[in-house]
Homo-oligomer: A and B are copies of this chain.
Amino acid sequence: AAEKSDAGVGVPISNILIIIAMQTEALPLVTKFRLSEDTTESPFPKGVPWIRYHGIYKNLEINLVWPGKDAVFGVDSVGTISASLVTYASIQALKPDLIINAGTAGGFKAKGACIGDVYFVSDVSFHDRRIPIPVFDLYGIGTRQTFSTPNLVKELNLKFGKLSTGDSLDMSPQDEASILANGATIKDMEGAAVAYVADLFSVPVIFVKAVTDIVDGEKPTAEEFLQNLVAVTAALDQAVSQVIDFINGKCLSDL
């Protein structure tokens, strides 16, 4: 089917989609891979703020999609709704072989996370979709395993943990209980939404998430997040670059 990845056994990956929620996280990669912003024609319909950067790097066609600035408020369109919409529209328009969702995250020191750590993700869940009706509860949590990349994990020597996603930057006691139940080491605001949509179309997704703030620490999340965003983004973008270099020339089954 047209929606399925063409990169099967023995066929090298040729088309990568990188989804990044914040401009600050995206721009260093745009520079590094010499990607161009769409000017005259966009793969997306008129009205949406989504920005696609694209280019060729080694043997890979790279599309980097950032959901753009909200037209009303002028801030990055963070969160699960924009993430799911851009994932959907990008899969339809760009037919990626593999999706990389990169971004910053909060980490739990009780689980070993430190500021600046970069994580690969083994599975994703939601922590703010509580529906206490049998089966609906599991749908709300929506745990999904990510695409398995044992060679990539070994080669890059990054940390490896579970990710929990919700639409708040802070963490309520109910969120915390759900995150613990999900067994997560890191929390973000997009990952599980990207995974949900990619899963509809059987497109493999991997996650690269860098820790900007310690969720179970002393400092308020928002303050710590803003303090560390730029420095941690450098670590994030270095890891994404290493991932891309590793992927180049390989098949999905080699990852």
Contact = CB atoms under 8 A, between A and B. Distances in A.
A79 B140 contact: yes
Interface of A is mostly: loop
Contact of A75 (B71, B139, B167): B139
Given A48-B200, A85-B197, A78 B131 contact: yes
A129 B168 CA distance: 5
Interface string A128-171: 11111101101110000000000000000000000000111110
Chain A interface: which size bin? 35 or more
B47 A81 contact: no
A51 to B, nearest CB: 14
Contacts of A226: 133
A139 B70 contact: yes
Given A75-B139, A135-B75, A170 B130 contact: yes
A222 interface: yes
A42 interface: no
Contact of A78 (B77, B81, B136): B136
Contacts of A197: 81, 85
A238 B126 CA distance: 35
A-B residue pairs, 9 tightest by C-beta: A130-B168, A129-B167, A73-B139, A172-B174, A131-B169, A47-B201, A47-B200, A81-B84, A132-B222
23 contacts: A45-B201, A47-B202, A73-B138, A81-B193, A81-B197, A85-B85, A85-B88, A85-B197, A128-B128, A128-B166, A128-B167, A128-B168, A130-B170, A130-B172, A131-B168, A132-B169, A132-B220, A132-B222, A133-B222, A136-B169, A140-B167, A167-B167, A172-B174
B170 A132 contact: yes
A72 B143 CA distance: 10
A86 to B, nearest CB: 10
